[in-house]
């Protein structure tokens, strides 16, 4: 895969590089301090984090709740925040319909940020930052159908899709349409599951689990069949070229 831009020409790439031990240590110290402060405030106020208290906290923010929730999606690609947790949290806080709607808007905005961020920063920086998804970035030909199918898979890291499409030659319009179309079923499945967390053991909770399992199996099967069809087509072309 060709680089969208040369990361060496950008000062930001050297700043964010994980190869600098000093910066890694400073990031670690910063996270420890933030965690300590948040933990101290939580204990001092006697705040017990449960699904109920989380929902009540978000709803107590009024109109700021959806705004903050959506804003988290916008910065998610830059800090590798797990999208699944956000989808579930949206369903828990706002319900099985409104929550996924907010999440869909946030996913579109976050996907836009991730796409252009990777396109500006370039291949080397993205691979050094993403690590776990480097194989997918280098071995996947990102197209409309591929982005759509990857976005459907429940356990597929969203950031890998955002960054991979940004590093490819895809047009942004094709990418964002495919991404939103693929993400929407996944978001609603996780949102429905999140809305049942206050009723663990209930019929709704069991139904949500079954939906997630069926959805996961179906998307994996579709992806598997697509890869097999592509491999057979490639083998056939190679056979024709070799005169077999």
pTM of the full structure: 0.66
Residue among 135, 129, 131 at smallest CA distance from 114 = 129
Q: How many domains, the chain?
A: 1
Residue 208 lies in a domain: yes
CB 86 within 8 A of CB 190: no
Residue 1 lies in a domain: no
State the residue range of the domain holding 141.
7-237
The predicted-structure confidence for 1-44, as pLDDT tens digits, reads as follows 444 444 443 333 443 444 455 555 555 555 556 555 555 555 55
Residue 2 lies in a domain: no
What is the model's pLDDT at position 173?
A: 94
What is the model's pLDDT at position 179?
A: 94
> Higher pLDDT residue, 30 or 193?
193
The per-residue DSSP string of 113-168 comes to HHHHHHHHH-HHHHHHHHGGGHHHHHH----HHHHHHHHHSTTS-HHHHHHHHHHS
Average pLDDT of span 99-127: 88
**What mean pLDDT value characterizes the chain?**
75
**Distance, CA of 182 to CA of 148 (rounded, Å):** 5
Residue in this structure with the two tokens 């910063």, named with its chain if needed: 30
Give the count of alpha carbons within 13 A of 98, CB side only: 8
pLDDT bucket at 136, cuts 50 / 70 / 90 = low
Residue 244 lies in a domain: no
Residue among 101, 100, 120 at smallest CA distance from 172 = 120
The predicted-structure confidence for 154-166, as pLDDT tens digits, reads as follows 777 888 888 889 8
Q: How many residues does the chain have?
A: 244
CB 69 within 8 A of CB 102: yes
Residue 243 lies in a domain: no
């Amino acid at each position: 895969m060709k680089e969208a831009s040369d990361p060496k020409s950008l000062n930001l790439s050297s700043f964010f590089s994980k190869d600098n031990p000093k910066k890694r240590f400073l990031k670690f110290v910063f996270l420890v301090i933030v965690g300590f402060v948040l933990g101290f405030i939580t204990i001092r106020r006697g705040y017990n984090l449960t699904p109920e208290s989380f929902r009540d906290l978000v709803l107590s923010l009024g109109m700021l709740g959806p705004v903050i929730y959506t804003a988290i999606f916008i910065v998610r690609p830059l800090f590798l925040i797990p999208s699944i947790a956000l989808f579930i949290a949206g369903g828990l806080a706002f319900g099985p319909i409104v929550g996924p709607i907010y999440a869909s808007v946030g996913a579109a905005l976050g996907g836009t940020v991730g796409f252009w961020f990777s396109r500006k920063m370039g291949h080397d920086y993205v691979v050094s930052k993403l690590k776990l998804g480097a194989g997918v970035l280098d071995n996947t030909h990102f197209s409309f159908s591929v982005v759509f199918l990857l976005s459907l898979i429940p356990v597929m890291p969203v950031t890998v899709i955002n960054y991979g499409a940004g590093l490819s030659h895809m047009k942004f319009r094709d990418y964002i349409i495919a991404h939103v179309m693929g993400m929407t079923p996944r978001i609603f499945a996780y949102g429905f599951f999140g809305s049942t967390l206050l009723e663990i053991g209930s019929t709704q909770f069991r139904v949500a689990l079954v939906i997630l399992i069926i959805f996961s199996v179906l998307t994996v099967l579709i992806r598997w069949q697509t890869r097999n069809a592509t491999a057979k087509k490639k083998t056939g072309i190679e056979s024709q070229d070799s005169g077999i």
